[in-house]
Structure 1
């Protein structure tokens, strides 16, 4: 029970980042930079409490991983502005799960048992169906029914960049290097800031909208810590599956907090798409437990 309660924290924290940051405002570059500043503050506090060993390789790998993460997050923020939080976030989570799983299977032979291939294939099918319905638009929707202009072509381009960044970050940490998460969090946060600064061509500033976005960086840090606690208490399968439920939080926040309007058809499609994402994520979590 304790592990499940821990797992609810990353679900709420990570699922809220998109709509809270968009409510605060700013460009994707400002949002990314602000988030990374908050992540550095959080990681510094964790380091002072835990005092993990930091080697040269930990710093090197952590910074590389943080820069890859910044590419993923910047692309995700861009996709949110083009497509809306309630559409971009579920698509982002789903695309990471699909591409990440395929790389794990094809490049690193993560599935070795028949039951893993059966459940994994079913999971990927659910995720692809979720893709379709989460992005499906009502052709009868009038311009006045939308709260802001949408550009799905640019949104999918940003989502592609985001997925490449996030998947590279995940594969790098999970399959290429083996770092203690508590040791890597501080070097990674510095890599995140460096990556965010690169998007701003190192012309960084600390204007109010950037500093306000640091709040979501602290939320991100809390999600990371509780993800580790959940994995330790209830296992990675439970922690992984629950963290994917953040897509529900994103949809609710996008519609209720940001006022993203949807027709009745679109509401049904989005709910169906997210349901497929959740089923697919849970099945992938079960696959990981074998």
Structure 2
């Protein structure tokens, strides 16, 4: 029970990032920059408490991973701007799950037993169905009628999700499949890389605006989710921790609709519910696959 309670924290923390940051405002680059500042302060606090040893190789790969993460997060913020939080977040999570699982199974041989292939394939099919229904648009939506550019924005959102997924998956593969570091040890080098990555994306044209400072609290939220993800994995196992963390899309969808006023027709709400249900079942099945 304790492990499940721990797992609820990253679910809420990570699921809230999108709509809180968009409620605060700022450009995607400002959101990413502010978030990385908060993440760095959080990482410094963790380092002062835990005081792990930091080797040169930890710094090098931690910074590289942080830069890749910044690319992923910036792409996600751009996608939210074009598509809305309630659409972009589930698509982003789904893309990472589908492509990441395929890479793990086909390249790194993570699926070795027949039951893993059966459950894994069913999960991927459900995620693809979730993709379709989560992104489906109703021609009667007033937002589509108000702007002739709305459809082109949606295509821009998909392009942003493409490089976001590459960034996120690259950093995940680096830390999970190529190198193996303690999360408490790598969090500071990674936070430095995240900040550096956001500066590179801004072409070092730094402006410490109000939205940047406010978005730094979102970075602290990200760090809290990371720590509790570790606690959840230790208490309840990786399968539970992983599955619950993916359920953050429920929070992001609800937040986008309730707090950001993203308009959905009855048809779109129905399609979104079907897509969300497919995402949840697919994520839980992938969590079971990981437990073998």
Provide the TM-score with structure 2 as the length reference.
Answer: 0.97
Please name the residue that 2:85 is paired with.
85
Post-superposition shift, 1:207? 1.3
| 1:140 to partner: Cα distance | 2.4
Match of 1:190 among 168, 189, 192: 192
**Residue 221 (structure 1) aligned to one of 220, 223, 238:** 223
Any stretches of 5+ residues in structure 2 without a counterpart? none
Kept in 1: contact 2:136–2:268 (CA 8 A):
yes
Q: Deviations over 1:84-141 (max 9, x none)?
A: 0000000000000000000001110000000000000000000000000000000222
Give the conservation status (yes or no) of the 8 Å contact 2:141–2:263: no
User: Does the 8 A contact of 1:136 with 1:266 survive in 2?
Assistant: yes
Q: Distance in 2 between matches of 1:24 and 1:265?
A: 29
Single out whichever of 205-214 and 19-28 deviates more from structure 2. Answer: 205-214
Q: How many residues align?
A: 290
Match of 2:140 in 1: 140
Matches of 2:11 and 2:148, distance apart in 1: 27
Map 1:106-255 → 2, pairs under 5 A: 106-143=106-143, 150=150, 151-255=153-257
Pair 1:275 & 2:277 matched: yes
Distance in 2 between residues matched to 1:140 and 1:116, nearest whole Å: 42
CA distance in 2, matches of 1:146, 1:281: 36
Q: 1:70 maps to which residue?
A: 70
User: For the Cα contact (< 8 Å) 2:143–2:263, is it kept in 1?
Assistant: no
RMSD between aligned residues: 1.3
Structure 1: runs of 5+ lacking an equivalent = none
Query: Do the aligned partners of residues 139 and 174 (structure 1) sit closer, same or farther apart at CA in structure 2, a change above 3 Å counting?
Result: same
Any conservation in 2 of the 1:146–1:261 contact (CA below 8 Å)?
Answer: no
For 1:78 and 1:140, how far apart are their aligned partners in 2? 25
Q: Secondary structure, in 3 states, of the residue corresponding to 2:138?
A: coil
Alpha-carbon deviation of 1:206? 1.3
SS in 1 for 2:107: helix
Q: Deviations over 1:186-239 (max 9, x none)?
A: 000000000000011011121111010001000000000000000000000000
Give the stretch that moved more between structures: 141-150 or 162-171: 141-150
Q: Residue in 2 aligned with 1:37? A: 37
For residues 28-84 of structure 1, give each alpha carbon's deviation from its aligned partner in whole angstroms, at most 9, with x where no partner exists.
Answer: 000000000000000000000000010000000100000000000000000000000
Does residue 263 of the first structure (1) align with residue 265 of the second (2)? yes
Q: Show the counterpart of 1:48.
A: 48
Distance in 1 of aligned mates of 2:108 and 2:161: 24
Q: TM-score, normalised by structure 1?
A: 0.98
Instruction: Give the conservation status (yes or no) of the 8 Å contact 2:25–2:31.
Output: yes
Q: 2-side partners of 1:105 and 1:156: how far apart?
A: 25
Distance in structure 2 (CA, Å) of the matches to 1:144 and 1:84 = 13
What stretches of structure 1 move > 2 A for 4+ residues in a row?
A: 140-150
